[in-house]
Amino acid sequence: MLNKIYIFIAVIALFSVSNTFAQEHNEHVVKTISHDENKKHIDESTHHGEKLNLKDQIKADIKHHLQDSHDFHIWKNIGFPLPVILWDEGLHVFLSSKFHEGNGVVESNGKYYAISHGNGHIYKTDASGEIEHNEKGYETNDKPLDLSITKTVFMIMITALLMFLLFTSLAKSYTKNGGIAKGFGRLMEPIILYIRDDIAIPNIGQKEYKKYMPYLLTVFFFVWFVNLFGLTPLGINITGNIAITFTLAIITYLITTFTAKKDYWKHIFWMPGVPTPMKFVLAPIELLGTLIKPFSLMIRLYANMKAGHVVLMSIIGLMFVFKSWIGSPLSFGLAFALSLLELLVAALQAYIFTMLSALYFGAASEEHEHH
The one-letter amino acid at 84 = V
Q: Does 194 bind other proteins (CB under 8 A)?
A: no
Which of 46, 175, 206, 276 forms a contact with other proteins (CB under 8 A)? Answer: 175
| 150: exposed, middle or buried (Cβ count in 10 Å: 0-12, 13-18, 19+) | buried
Q: Does 152 bind other proteins (CB under 8 A)?
A: yes
Q: Are 101 and 115 in contact (CB under 8 A)?
A: no
Q: Does 174 bind other proteins (CB under 8 A)?
A: yes
Q: Does 170 bind other proteins (CB under 8 A)?
A: yes
Residue 139 main-chain phi, psi, to 5 deg:
-70, 140
Name the residue nearer to other proteins (CB basis): 155 or 338: 155
The contacts of residue 256 (CB under 8 Å, 6+ apart) are 290, 293, 294, 360, 361, 363, 364
Q: Does 155 bind other proteins (CB under 8 A)?
A: no
Q: Does 199 bind other proteins (CB under 8 A)?
A: no
The one-letter amino acid at 129 = G
Which of 30, 52, 93, 171 forms a contact with other proteins (CB under 8 A)? Answer: 171
Site string for other proteins, 302-341 (x = CB under 8 A): ----------------------------------------
Which of 1, 145, 326, 344 forms a contact with other proteins (CB under 8 A)? Answer: 145
Site string for other proteins, 22-41 (x = CB under 8 A): x-xx----------------
Q: Does 54 bind other proteins (CB under 8 A)?
A: no
The contacts of residue 208 (CB under 8 Å, 6+ apart) are 361, 362, 365
Q: Are 30 and 38 in contact (CB under 8 A)?
A: no
Task: Spell out a b/e string for 5-25, using b for 16 or more CB atoms within 10 Å of the CB, else e.
Answer: ebbeebeebeeebeeeeeeee
Q: Are 301 and 242 in contact (CB under 8 A)?
A: no
Q: Does 147 bind other proteins (CB under 8 A)?
A: yes
Site string for other proteins, 245-274 (x = CB under 8 A): -xxx--x-----------------------
The contacts of residue 283 (CB under 8 Å, 6+ apart) are 268, 269, 270, 271
Name the residue nearer to other proteins (CB basis): 119 or 328: 119
| Helix, coil or strand: residue 310 | helix
Q: Which stretch binds other proteins (CB under 8 A): 36-44, 74-82, 178-186, 309-317?
A: 178-186
Q: Does 77 bind other proteins (CB under 8 A)?
A: no
Q: Which of 302, 291, 209 is nearest to 252 (CA)?
A: 291
Q: Which of 351, 93, 326 is nearest to 224 (CA)?
A: 351
Which of 11, 180, 291, 343 forms a contact with other proteins (CB under 8 A)? Answer: 180
**Minimal distance in Å, beta carbon 329 to other proteins?**
35
**Minimal distance in Å, beta carbon 104 to other proteins?**
19
**Minimal distance in Å, beta carbon 273 to other proteins?**
36
Name the residue nearer to other proteins (CB basis): 54 or 149: 149
- The 8-class DSSP code of residue 368 comes to -
Measure the CA–CA gap between 28 and 35, rounded to whole angstroms. Answer: 10
Q: Does 68 bind other proteins (CB under 8 A)?
A: yes
Name the residue nearer to other proteins (CB basis): 3 or 203: 203
Can you count the helices (H) and strands (E) in the chain? Answer: 10, 8
Q: Does 279 bind other proteins (CB under 8 A)?
A: no
State which of positions 98-137 bind other proteins (CB under 8 A). 118-119, 121, 136
Alpha carbon separation from 131 to 79, 114, 150 (Å, rounded) = 26, 8, 21
Q: Does 153 bind other proteins (CB under 8 A)?
A: yes
Interacting residue ranges for other proteins, rule: CB under 8 A: 18, 21-22, 24-25, 68, 118-119, 121, 136, 138-139, 143, 145-150, 152-153, 156-157, 160, 163-164, 167-168, 170-172, 174-175, 179-181, 189, 192-193, 196, 210, 213-215, 217-218, 222, 241-244, 246-248, 251
